[in-house]
Structure 1
Amino acid sequence: MPWPHDVHIALPPSYEQGDRSYPVLWVTDASLSFPLVVGLMNWLHTVQEIAELIVIGVGAPDESDPAEFGARRTHDFYPMPRWVNAGPGGARMEALAGEAPTSGGGADAMLSFLVDELRPQLATELRFDDDHGLVGFSGGGHFVGYALLSRPAAFGRYLASSPALSGCEDLLFTLEADYAKTHDDLAAKVFLGAGEAELTDPYVAAADILGSMTRMSQLLRLRNYPSLELTSRLYPRQTHGSALPYALNEGLRTLYPVTAAGSG
């Protein structure tokens, strides 16, 4: 990776009280999303609505320069150097973003780092169950989709909030079509959520978040994969920023109910 990445770890309340293993939730954008995810999980576990998990947040350190932080996120989350989506929305994004559409290309390295390097290293120190989930927001939602369609066995549960799924000129839709040609099942639990008011921001609207999420949900449902559990939600009046806690709240309760992994 071209710069250091922070790794944050939160252990469940009962971790020190026994020797059982726990499912692991991997959270991208650690400096942005990790505190929100952990705080929400603490509450949902207290009211007995979700199972106990180990939570690991990974991401580029938060930078004082927002442009640099944004460039690092883009590099980590998109597998192609030119990360904008195809069609008129992409042209609009390119006009608004200037040089930024050419700063992607690190998603393969990021995914390999999470699955092939960091996971086995931490598994020697922590009691991991063989049950891994992945969370991402916005560009991180594209990364979640990329992980699902390029290495579907790497995680079993996927939560993408406001995912920019048509980035990299519809690459994920090409991957989805290629996967469907050679597979008749997709064993995964997937939650997709976005805000209805994301259409009101010109840049976010150009990112095709609502359109691409709806299109991917429709395609996956029409495949009739017997092992796929898919949930998609649009939250009324919620924007690109405000939809995230809604998606996390419902997504965690959907993917990790108290009966999951023998809990509850």
Structure 2
Amino acid sequence: MIRKILKLLAILILLVVIYFGYIFGRQAWDFFKLKKYKENLEFTASENVKLLKDTIYLEFLDERRTLHIFLPPGYENSDQKYPVIYMLDGESLFDDLYMQGPEWQLDERIESVMAEGGPGAIVIGIENGDRRSEEYKPFAKTDSNEEVYGSEFSRFLVHDLKPWIDMRFKTKRSPRHTIIGGASLGGLMAYYILMTYPETFGKAIVMSPSFWVSDEVFRLHYDKDLSDKKIFISIGTEENDLVGLAKRTFKVLEAAGMTSDNLRLEKQRGFSHNHFTWRDAFKKAYPWIIE
């Protein structure tokens, strides 16, 4: 009997060692891949990307922010109006050198879709600040008294930034042409903003969302008409607890009446929580969300 118990214990210990070895191995590989990438950084933004340094002012934080703006090829010589994608963590979208790491290649993806005859879009990337964690949380972490500014940031985006953009650029202004997107805490915020301001935003790109912050996330859709909304959720299969939370959100939205026509869960096999994952996610999201 004792021999059987010891044998089972040895097997259990071996399984634990294998599991944690795999986890640490993945983390080491991600670190090595990022380190090698940073050794060869170059300027990668397309000629259609503009940088508006310290253009906007966030009164609730007393901070100025830089905008990273992509205008579709041919924009300057056309009267055409375009959908607008508002993206959080704007410094990550277009340029390896500015990002100091793997940018998400939004400009390359949109240009490639347009080159094949597909639709274009304007991208407004909003650079984050030193207090990103507080700024990108609409509610405090469960059992925490931390100070957060997600609701203030959302109001700023809707009532200040969007009107400012609509006055200066050739935009389609309806909710069905106004998209919000982000990754990690930015993914949480994208989902929150869509649900909180459905009269302004009609679509969301929700990448690797940090839904661990609060169970309030899973009640945001209550009393909302989601029939005209479109939500793309992506998650890497190696993102641990975030995988289950993304699946839970998908099931909640399915139960609320959303279908494959306006709801998609993209499982990125072998991807973990990093910028390569979000580059891949946007590549898959754009043609679906923009159609």
Q: Settle same-fold status: TM greater than 0.5.
A: yes
1:66-77 mapped onto 2 (5 Å cutoff): 69=130, 72-77=131-136
**How much does 1:229 deviate?**
0.4
Residue-pair matches, total: 218
- Separation of aligned partners in 2, 1:132 and 1:51: 14
Q: 230, 249, 258: which one pairs with 1:216?
A: 249
Matched, 1:43 2:103: no
Contact preservation (8 Å) 1:186, 1:226: no
**How much does 1:47 deviate?**
3.4
**How much does 1:175 deviate?**
2.2
In structure 2, what is the equivalent of residue 134 of structure 1? 180
In structure 1, what is the equivalent of residue 40 of structure 2? none
Contact preservation (8 Å) 1:148, 1:155: yes
Q: Which has the higher contact order (CA 8 A, sep 6+)?
A: 1
In structure 2, what is the equivalent of residue 153 of structure 1? 199
Q: Alpha carbons of 1:30 and 1:230: their partners in 2 closer, same or farther (altered >3 Å)?
A: same
Q: Alpha carbons of 1:28 and 1:34: their partners in 2 closer, same or farther (altered >3 Å)?
A: farther
Instruction: In structure 1, give the amino acid aligned to 2:81.
Output: S
**How much does 1:248 deviate?**
0.4
1:25-104 mapped onto 2 (5 Å cutoff): 25-35=85-95, 36=104, 37-48=106-117, 50-61=118-129, 69=130, 72-80=131-139, 82-83=140-141, 103=146
- Separation of aligned partners in 2, 1:6 and 1:103: 26
**How much does 1:174 deviate?**
2.5
**How much does 1:227 deviate?**
10
Look up the SS of the partner of 1:128 in the other structure.
coil
**How much does 1:159 deviate?**
0.3
**How much does 1:79 deviate?**
1.5
**How much does 1:117 deviate?**
0.3
Larger helix proportion of the pair: 1
Q: Alpha carbons of 1:152 and 1:216: their partners in 2 closer, same or farther (altered >3 Å)?
A: same
Contact preservation (8 Å) 1:188, 1:228: no
Instruction: In structure 2, give the amino acid aligned to 1:74.
Output: S
1:153-192 mapped onto 2 (5 Å cutoff): 153-167=199-213, 169-176=214-221, 179=222, 182-183=223-224, 185-192=226-233
Identity %: 24
Instruction: In structure 1, give the amino acid aligned to 2:76.
Output: E
Which 5+ residue runs of structure 1 have no aligned equivalent? 62-68, 87-100, 200-207
Instruction: In structure 2, give the amino acid aligned to 1:189.
Output: K
Contact preservation (8 Å) 2:207, 2:278: yes
Which 5+ residue runs of structure 2 have no aligned equivalent? 1-57, 96-103
1:16-31 mapped onto 2 (5 Å cutoff): 16-31=76-91
Look up the SS of the partner of 1:124 in the other structure.
helix
- Separation of aligned partners in 2, 1:106 and 1:145: 15
Structure 1 stretches of 4+ with a deviation exceeding 4 A read 101-104, 225-228
Contact preservation (8 Å) 1:20, 1:127: yes
Q: Alpha carbons of 1:45 and 1:102: their partners in 2 closer, same or farther (altered >3 Å)?
A: farther
Q: Alpha carbons of 1:183 and 1:31: their partners in 2 closer, same or farther (altered >3 Å)?
A: closer
Look up the SS of the partner of 1:26 in the other structure.
strand
Instruction: In structure 2, give the amino acid aligned to 1:139.
Output: L
TM-score, structure 2 as length reference: 0.69
Task: Please identify, of 224-233 and 186-195, the stretch whose mean Cα deviation from structure 2 is larger.
Answer: 224-233
Contact preservation (8 Å) 1:76, 1:104: no
- What RMSD in Å do the two structures reach over aligned CA positions? 2.2
Look up the SS of the partner of 1:190 in the other structure.
strand
In structure 2, what is the equivalent of residue 92 of structure 1? none
Q: Alpha carbons of 1:216 and 1:104: their partners in 2 closer, same or farther (altered >3 Å)?
A: farther
Q: Alpha carbons of 1:137 and 1:104: their partners in 2 closer, same or farther (altered >3 Å)?
A: farther
**How much does 1:42 deviate?**
2.2
In structure 1, what is the equivalent of residue 65 of structure 2? 5
Contact preservation (8 Å) 2:88, 2:128: no
Contact preservation (8 Å) 1:28, 1:57: yes
